[in-house]
Every structure is written in structure tokens, then in C-alpha cells.
Amino acid sequence: GEEGLQIEVFWNDYIRNEDVYSSQNLPNREKSIEQIVRGIQIGLQNTGEEIVTVRVSRDYEKFSLLIQSLWEEFKDKKIFFDFPDLNPVFLTPEVLQLLASQKRTVISLLPLAVSDRLRNSLNQKITTDELLGIIENIYKHQLKGLKLAFYIGVPGETGEDLEEVKKLLVEINRIAKNSDYDINITVEFFVFLPQPHSIWQWDKLEDLQSLREKVQCLKLNLSFKNMRIGYPDLEKTFLKGVLARGDRKLCSVIYTVWKEELKLVSDENFNFSVWTNAFQQNSIAVDDYIRERKFEDTLAWEHIQMIEKQFLKQARLKVAERNKPLIENDESLSLQPQSETKSNFEDEQNTLYGRKRKIVQKKTTVSLVNSKIRLKWSKGEEVRFTS
């Protein structure tokens, strides 16, 4: 392939971002390190590639041993290993030292939620302080680059959570300025999609306008000379989320788009208005596909047998126990609206993560504080012929 030899190494990672699935209940897909090394050797012999991309699941417990084995086996060969979307907890000082011995290593971390509270909700067992400690070690070992990724639109996300990611990037910028060694830092933002067959399938997909406000807030508040910051294509991502949660009625929408323009459309000239018009022509409301669901609702995809619905429901309730009150655990087992979620968070203890909670004025929307705002006015496609 264009990116070299691709190898995937899994543990029992059937459901991403959740630890409630016991290894007793799932078949073990783990391969021994010897099997992995042998597989890479065969792949290199058959392809002649010099780049090997090794993707490891977020719960792979032998990452350090895997690195040591790969370095011992291929130390005399001109083979470059790339490890995309790493769980930050893998990056111990010992692992970073091993990675630094490969001169052009770029550390790429899996997408994280923007705050400690939301990372706890997604079962991402890494705090801001721990993440900053890892980044300091990356600078000490003089690695070539660092790629950070963050989710926006995680269920229960507030403006205060977005403030946390700003503080994190400010601290990373401080570390970079105090370092004698330059590292290429890239920060990417992605939209969190509550996918079918996951524990989040009942949650609301954040609406497009709200996502636009959040991205605009980030753009106005995040500006660092030594960081490249990338933002998602919101319209494409939002449409992907809608179609993923769709039912048979969306066939007419897809067919309408195909008839009118899809046959000639590529990624370069994607036109979101074609899709919105198709929804309107077929009298289908987009809001029906992004709304929050109740546990007892029949979901369009549940006839596809992947993971039992009850299993996912129990996992989702465990998230509620870990990060109350994302879910109202009552007789109806319905998810709690976000407006109620916010008020319940205010009733938590005044101390979180070992420090006293700051008392700030509550904001109903994402605020643009101390920011310059540039407005751009343009004439839309619909009125292009008017004076």
C-alpha cells in the first residue's frame, strides 16, 4: 500500500472506549509477540516495503515488550515502524526511550476527550497532569513530532470542557517554549459520533449549528505559533453520523442525491446543500436521526446481530455510575437531557481531581471572551442573480 506494510495488533478490544466487557465473555484474539514478529517478517519478504505501520488496540498490555522485540529483531535492517493512535498510557519513559532510538519517530495519540471529566466518561484513563508529564518526556527524548487529537461533541460536553483543552494547549506551548529542542506539534479536532452497536448509540448526535459554534470558539481562542491546529469538516462528518444512524427511509434521500449530483461529486466538490435539499424533497427530518433515544426504543440497526443490546445497555449504565448523571437510572431507563445533566453536575462536590472547583458564571452557550470577531458577509447560491 501507499503507507507501507499494515499490521494490526488487537487485545480484547471489541468495544472501543469501554472496559466493562470482561475477557471471560469474549474470545481472545491476542497473538503472541513471536507470531506478530513472524508475520511482519513474512510481510516484508513478500512486499519489499521498508515502512511498517503497527496499529495496537487501546488495551494492548504488552506494548513495551512488543517494541523491545521489534527493535531486537530489526535493529540491523532499514525498517521504519509507525505506531498511529497510541494510547498515552503506553508512553512510559522506557517506551519513549526505545521509540527515540528510531530517529524519525512521530508520536501519534488516539483521540482524547477535551477534559478530565469527559475522559473519565469515555474511560480514557489519562489525566491532564499525566498527559503533560508524557509530553515533557517526549521533549526530553527529542522525538521528531507529536500529533494530538481531541473529540468535540462528546455527550455531556459543556463550554467549561472546551476551556480545559485551551488550558492544556497553553501548557504544552509553555513546555515547547522552555525546551531547547523543537518538535513538530500537530493538533487535530474530531467530532465524536455516537455510533450504532456502541454504548453511545442511544445518545444525541450534536446538531450542526452547535458544532459550528464550538469550532468557531476554538478557532478564536487557540492560536499558537509552534502548533498546527486542524479542524473537522463539520458538514461531511455530521452527514456521516446521520447516515450511520439511519434506517430504510434514507434510501430515498441517497437515491435523490445520486440522481441529481452524486454521480459527479467527489470529495473536492462536496455540496452539503444537495443533501439538505434531498431530505426536504423526501419530507424527512434530519432531527429524527440525531435525537436522543430511550433504552426501550427499537433502533434501526438492532436486527443486525453484533453485540447484545442488553450488554450495551449495562455498559452505558456503568458510565453513569462512573460519571453521574449522564443517565437517569429510573424505571424508564431513558437517557437524561443535557439541560438536566448540567444542573446535576452543579450538585457534585466542590473539589474535583484534587483541587478546589473554580466558581465561574454559568454560560448557556459557548462564550467568546476577550476575543476579536471577524464577520464575513456573502451572497448565497440561491440569490446569486439578484442585485
Query: Which pTM was predicted?
Result: 0.74
Q: Given a cut of 70, is residue 221 above it in pLDDT?
A: yes
Mean pLDDT lowest for which of 77-81, 183-187, 278-282? 77-81
β-partners of residue 9 are: 56
Cα 79 to Cα 10, 44, 70, 75, distances in angstroms: 22, 9, 10, 8
**Number of helices followed by number of strands (H, E) in the chain:** 13, 10
Mean pLDDT of 235-258: 93
Closest CA to 231 of 153, 134, 144: 153
The 3-state DSSP class for residue 368 equals coil
Contacts of 131 (CB under 8 A, 6+ apart): 88, 112, 168
For residue range 53-79, what is the model confidence (pLDDT) as tens digits? 888 888 888 899 999 999 988 888 888
205 strand-pairing partners: none
The residue ranges of DSSP E strands in the chain, in sequence order, are 5-9, 51-56, 80-82, 106-108, 112-113, 145-152, 184-191, 227-230, 351-352, 355-356
Tell me how far apart the alpha carbons of residues 151 and 164 are, in angstroms, rounded to a whole number.
Answer: 13
252-269 per-position pLDDT tens digit = 999 998 887 766 556 666
